[in-house]
A and B are shown apart, each in its own frame.
Chain A
Amino acid sequence: MIRLWGYLAMALVLVVGALPGAAATTKTTVIATDLAFPWSMAALPEGGFVVTLRGGQLIYVAPNGNQQPIELSLPDLYATAQAGLFEVLLAPDFSSTRELVLSYACGSEAANNTCVVKGTLSAQAPYSVFNTQNIFTALPKKAGAAHFGARMTWLADNTLLVALGDGFVHREQAQQLDNHLGKIVRIHRDGSTPNDNPYKHSQASQIFSYGHRNVQGLIYDEQRDAIWQHEHGPKGGDELNKIVAGGNYGWPIATYGIDYTGAKVSPFNQLPGVKAPLYTWTPSLAPAGLALYNGDLLVSHLVGRRLQRFQYSNDSWTLTDEYLSELGQRIRAVYTSPDNEVYVLTDSAEGQLIKVELP
């Protein structure tokens, strides 16, 4: 009888473990602590990591966790509330050029937006970034310190996608093609505009897609030659999208979310000519990082305080596993290193860089 109960309990564990979205245990190793609101990271080929802190600092984290500030000059950095230093991305040919790109909020309280610079990282520690050069400034500059987007990814042709936000109070501008608010733009590494971008008009020829609210995850999937993206909805309606050139992703004319006050932003969830999301999070988990791992998508969440794993089938994604909820931490970023190790950055004044071994 006892054995029977044992078999039943084992079967129950197996069934629950196989359910979609079931919490799975992982092994975690804290690499570094006391990182004040880290935003993104990149693994250096010589070992260690470059980590951005939203306050404006660039940090080198050695493999043993030791931290050193990296000298970086961004005179027009605007750091407050959601504004600050955002993404660091190594150039595809970093090992030979040492070039990297950084996105950050530039300007002042009255007039700011998202800027991108490229720079060169010195060959060895103590590191510094030199030859910094602006390659993109989102226009128009606007007041307020919300919704900068700022995630970036390299495409197969070595052009750079930069995701932007709507500035919160300018949501209707996400549907206007004469500015960069609520857009994803595509540029060359030198800041010039590729001549095969979908729109040719002079005001904003960098536009690649539009109708975005606040993009917080963006990654090019070489295996499927596809671009995956997620963005914050307002109250509900966080979206996972497949980005295509010229696509309209609906904000604010079509959304699954409502405003924070309870009012409808739009009566429509979907509209003709608007790309429907592949997956929506309602209530919002505030996805804030996106990475590919063994062909699966990993999504880290701020409000949701967990890491989710999605598997691909029929040109869409299915939630299969959830991790790290036991940490109880807001997770700002998830990153897969070139040697296929997964790391996350937790979002707090004592943020951590954690290595995660997934099942």
Chain B
Amino acid sequence: MLRVLLAFFIAVVGAALVGSVMQTQFNLAEITALSVSVDMPTRMNTIVHDLLHFGPVFAAMLIPTLLIAFMIAWLVAKRFTRFERWWFIVGGGLGLATAFIIIDSLAPMPTLIAANRTTLGFVLMSATGAFAGWIFDRLWHPQAQELNEELPK
């Protein structure tokens, strides 16, 4: 049980970190497209700000989404055991995409996360759910060769 909880926690944190940094790049790309230059220290400050402020909000979205998505993936994996890793990857990605659609239909604003306004942004932000699925299954049920991997010296 502890292994499952730890795997889930690390999967949520990993997806929140990647998603936060990624949406910052989308927002800054929109600003630079308006002929405003953003230097590296400003970019780094913005990344850190968003990790601290957007990251927890995104993690709060990820927790219930991935709980449901991973339970469904687990049920499917019980029947089709060969592709377990893929069920979690696909489940995480589709689950988060579905969550975005539901949140946007319920929230007063048309699109809650600005990066999701473009198709590319929506796909990449949803892909952080797939990333979480990969992390979770990699830690929960590592494959034989993964267990034999040596830590870098």
Q: CB within 8 Å of B: which residues of A? A: 81, 143-144, 146, 168-169, 171-172, 175, 252-253, 258-268, 271
Contacts and interface: CB of A to CB of B under 8 A. Distances in A.
Contact of A268 (B36, B109, B111): B36
Nearest to B114: A259
Residue from the set B33, B43, B53 with the largest chain A CB neighbour count within 10 Å: B53
B28 to A, nearest CB: 7
Interface residues of B, number: 31
Contacts of A144: 110
B49 interface: yes
Nearest to B20: A263
Nearest to A235: B53
Contacts, number: 69
A259 B34 CA distance: 18
Given A262-B55, A263-B27, A263-B53, 18 more contacts: A168-B109, A168-B111, A169-B109, A169-B117, A171-B114, A172-B34, A253-B36, A260-B112, A261-B57, A262-B56, A262-B57, A263-B54, A264-B46, A265-B27, A267-B28, A267-B46, A268-B36, A271-B36
Given A253-B31, A267-B38, A267-B42, A146 B50 contact: no
A181 to B, nearest CB: 13
Nearest to B61: A261
Contact of A264 (B34, B50, B58, B108): B50
Interface of B is mostly: helix
Contacts of B111: 168-169
Nearest 5 interchain pairs by C-beta: A262-B53, A144-B110, A263-B54, A262-B54, A267-B46
B114 A265 contact: yes
Interface of B: 20, 23-24, 27-28, 30-31, 33-34, 36, 38, 42-43, 45-46, 49-50, 53-58, 108-114, 117
Residue from the set B28, B34, B38 with the largest chain A CB neighbour count within 10 Å: B34
Contacts of B57: 261-262
Contact of B110 (A143, A261, A267): A143
A267 B47 CA distance: 10
A261 B31 contact: no
25 contacts: A146-B108, A146-B109, A168-B109, A169-B109, A169-B110, A252-B30, A253-B34, A258-B53, A259-B54, A260-B109, A261-B112, A262-B53, A262-B54, A262-B57, A263-B23, A263-B27, A263-B53, A263-B54, A264-B27, A264-B49, A264-B50, A265-B27, A267-B42, A268-B36, A271-B36
